[in-house]
Structure 1
Amino acid sequence: MLVSQGVDAALAGVLGLLIGSFLNVVIYRLPKMLEQQWAAECASLNGGEAPAAERFNLMVPHSRCQQCGHAIRWYENIPVLSYLVLRGKCSSCRTPISLRYPLVELVTAALFAWSVWHMPGQSGSLAWCGFAAALLALALIDWDTTLLPDDITLPLLWAGLLASIAGFTGVSLTNAVWGAVAGYTSLWAVYWLFKLTTGKEGMGYGDFKLFAAFGAWFGWQALVPIILMASVIGVIIGLALKFNSGLREGGYVPFGPFLAGAGFTAMLFGPDAILRVIGL
């Protein structure tokens, strides 16, 4: 039994490497796709036409070196292995390749292997693999661009409700629905209270939707532990960035990555463990 489970986890890890490679594409391209879409919509509203642009989506054009334009061959795009063989540099111009690419692949592989090892049932494991992949992509997109795209947050929310119906999460549909409602409205209320008090926006609407998705996946009871853990992670990372002069202009740090960190904590250890970690 354990041998079979180990084989399944190993295969899931391999799948995770491949999905992680695709997530790198999503993290880089999806914000740019949204920017093109918004530019086209703005031009249409102004009665003009958007400037002609090269076809750009998750599939085309083929991946290239951002420095020299070298087309990345299939054997240069094997997860982790190609990075090691190339010693972390473009094969053409020798420009360093970000270490984040293989790290995303490895983290995704580890999350997939963990899901298959710990979560009951093949379908349930795949559901949690999807949750982990979506959450990782959201965290890094938000960190890079301060965006939490609806293209990911809303499917994640609906997937949580469907996973509840299928029995993959151990959360009743009633608790999942109320979790989604409470997750959205709670941060919505905080947003408006902060804005009316200070005149500033403390977070974006994507944070509401991501928190609603957590409510759907973990139930309304998990929302307080998750938001507390997100706040703790935010304080720790915020202080680290401040002392290392890593804060962006204006001192703004997106909240989505901290929410994602709390979501991963709830996935790996359970919401109750969060309360124990922070001493409550």
Structure 2
Amino acid sequence: MNLDSIKQSLSLWPTELWLLFITLLGLVLASFINVVIYRLPLILRREWGETNLPEISLSWPSSHCPKCKTPLSWRHNLPLVSWLIQQGCCVKCKQKISLQYPLVELAGGSLALLIAWRFGANLSSLVYLGFALSLLALAVIDAQTQLLPDKITLPLVWAGLTWHWVFSSSQMFDQAFLGALLGYLSLWSLFWVFKLLTGREGMGYGDFKLLAAIGAWLGAPALVPVVMLASISGLLVALVLKLNAKWQGQALPFGPHLVIGCLVLLIGGQELAGWLGLGAWLEITSWAF
């Protein structure tokens, strides 16, 4: 089956069936994203020399309870359903299962539904779902560990450029290439200006690569609304935390906010950017997304 026949077969799907299918696909893939979120930081730390950590990979050992290590069958791994049936507890030791697992699965299914609604029954929905779920993994990993692994960010840059090179117009590829370049250099420049002025590091190198990946997927004109949305999100979180007496002014990861800005723009598109007052900017830059 060639690419044209795949596109044609996807276009024949009834809208309701397509939305149901891709939502279920998002739930299933988000279950694997939970594995990535938990295991990838451990794999990286072991690679960096922490030999006291268990030797694991993304595929081995099989899924098990993190507390009692009991292997889980497929019945215990059904996205959302198993967690609800088991009332959020392990079937063996009855210890509570972290809310992260159902929340990530719910987020994956919701993103899938919104992306399918935005792009329709076509290959773009599947590709952008993969992009969105990769961003979801990065956001949670960064929130928990303040890491944005190169093993995800760098392949995302190349995947975005390849996608636009093969499937988009030459104008969109040019914007994607420039977006990857400007995405990296803009935050890299801010990093060094801040460091020279204050002697402190305001963000990590992973943020540069994440914004480069976003630029590679959405194009250079999208960087302005993405950073604007990320800044608003970060400011709101900082204000809420400031009201909490327990917060001691710890550094906040910026990656999750870049992800929020990107996903909001990915789903909202030109209409959302226009609502933000950036219609003229997109018109001047001829955003081709």
The 5 A counterparts of 1:85-100 are 85-100=85-100
Hey, what's the Cα distance between the residues in 1 that align with 2:99 and 2:133? 18
Structure-1 residue corresponding to 2:28: 18
Hey, what's the Cα distance between the residues in 1 that align with 2:12 and 2:164? 27
Higher mean displacement: 17-26 or 70-79: 70-79
Structure-2 residue corresponding to 1:45: none
Matched residue of 2:27: which SS? helix
Alpha carbons 2:226, 2:258 under 8 Å: kept: yes
Overall identity of the aligned pairs, in %? 42
Hey, what's the Cα distance between the residues in 2 that align with 1:157 and 1:125? 18
Alpha carbons 2:15, 2:121 under 8 Å: kept: no
Higher mean displacement: 265-274 or 216-225: 265-274
Hey, what's the Cα distance between the residues in 1 that align with 2:170 and 2:96? 45
Matched residue of 2:48: which SS? helix
Q: Across the two proteins, how many residue pairs are aligned to each other?
A: 269
Q: Structure 1: 5+ residue runs without aligned partners? A: 41-50
Runs of 4+ in structure 1 deviating by more than 4 angstroms, as ranges, are 51-54, 168-171
Matched residue of 1:66: which SS? coil
The 5 A counterparts of 1:123-202 are 123-167=123-167, 172-202=172-202
Alpha carbons 1:179, 1:215 under 8 Å: kept: yes
Hey, what's the Cα distance between the residues in 1 that align with 2:184 and 2:63? 37
Residues 244 and 53 from structure 1, CA distance in 2 versus in 1: closer, same or farther, beyond 3 angstroms? Answer: closer
Residue type of the alignment partner of 1:216: A
Hey, what's the Cα distance between the residues in 2 that align with 1:173 and 1:268? 20
Hey, what's the Cα distance between the residues in 1 that align with 2:209 and 2:62? 32
Structure-2 residue corresponding to 1:262: 261
Residues 272 and 187 from structure 1, CA distance in 2 versus in 1: closer, same or farther, beyond 3 angstroms? Answer: farther
Higher mean displacement: 2-11 or 172-181: 2-11
Residues 13 and 222 from structure 1, CA distance in 2 versus in 1: closer, same or farther, beyond 3 angstroms? Answer: same
TM-superposed CA distance for 1:95, in Å, is 1.3
Residue type of the alignment partner of 2:75: Y
Matched residue of 1:29: which SS? helix
Structure-1 residue corresponding to 2:8: none
Residue type of the alignment partner of 2:63: S
What is the TM-score with the length of structure 2 in the denominator? 0.86
Hey, what's the Cα distance between the residues in 2 that align with 1:168 and 1:142? 31
Higher mean displacement: 103-112 or 17-26: 103-112
Residue type of the alignment partner of 1:20: A
TM-superposed CA distance for 1:275, in Å, is 5.9
Q: Structure 2: 5+ residue runs without aligned partners? A: 1-10, 280-289
Residues 161 and 253 from structure 1, CA distance in 2 versus in 1: closer, same or farther, beyond 3 angstroms? Answer: same
What is the TM-score with the length of structure 1 in the denominator? 0.88
Question: CA-to-partner distance for each residue in 1:115-164, whole Å, 9 max, x for gaps?
Answer: 22321562211110111110100000000000000111111111111121
Residues 21 and 246 from structure 1, CA distance in 2 versus in 1: closer, same or farther, beyond 3 angstroms? Answer: farther
Structure-2 residue corresponding to 1:227: 227
Higher mean displacement: 226-235 or 95-104: 95-104
Residue type of the alignment partner of 1:230: A
TM-superposed CA distance for 1:228, in Å, is 1.0
Alpha carbons 2:118, 2:267 under 8 Å: kept: no
Residue type of the alignment partner of 1:85: I
Residues 88 and 120 from structure 1, CA distance in 2 versus in 1: closer, same or farther, beyond 3 angstroms? Answer: closer
